Homo-oligomer: A and B are copies of this chain.
């Protein structure tokens, strides 16, 4: 069975007919590593469900450095919800970190789908509630832990993921410099 349908069934009940309708609104796509799916200044039109691989959402700061704000892996959704919602130009970049496979759905297709299969409102509500809850916790950690604590905490919660991505990307996600990451890892802090 399709991996997205499996994921949806973890949250709501759908039958085969509904599954087929749902899938008809999505496009399955594969992208090589480092493919840009969204760039600053564009209008975000698409939401991605990750089947395989890893994507990230990042910005380029004043000094020209990339700062990763979010990672997405298997069975996570990723998009710039602000630009998607307002249809204003985005401040973000979305890029594949590994060769990746996604199910993509465009904003207008999603609107149609929600009209056809209103149950999906519930699925997305639950997804967003989970994401927002995670985001509240993320802010908690950013506010209370030191750089070193954030690193050790992340490492203990997501050890396999740490192996998958360049350290400098993780450093920027945890909001410290790549050099400082090196020093933490070497125990020189």
Contact = CB atoms under 8 A, between A and B. Distances in A.
Contacts of A67: 143-144
A129 B81 contact: yes
A165 interface: no
Contacts of A62: 144
B129 A91 contact: no
A75 interface: no
Interface in A64-96: 67, 69-70, 80-82, 84-85, 91-92
A183 interface: no
Nearest to A135: B135
A129 B134 CA distance: 14
Measured as residues with beta carbon below 8 angstroms from the partner, the interface class of chain A is 35 or more
A134 B59 CA distance: 16
A38 to B, nearest CB: 13
Contacts of A70: 136, 139
Contacts of A57: 136
Interface stretch (A15-23, A98-106, A117-125, A151-159): A117-125
A139 B85 contact: no
Given A121-B125, A125-B128, A137 B82 contact: yes
Contacts of A122: 114, 118, 121, 125
B128 A132 contact: yes
Given A67-B143, A70-B136, A122-B125, 4 more contacts: A59-B140, A61-B143, A69-B143, A131-B132
Interface of A: 57, 59, 61-62, 67, 69-70, 80-82, 84-85, 91-92, 114, 118, 121-122, 124-125, 128-140, 142-144, 175
* 6 closest A-B pairs by CB: A81-B133, A128-B128, A125-B125, A82-B133, A121-B121, A135-B135
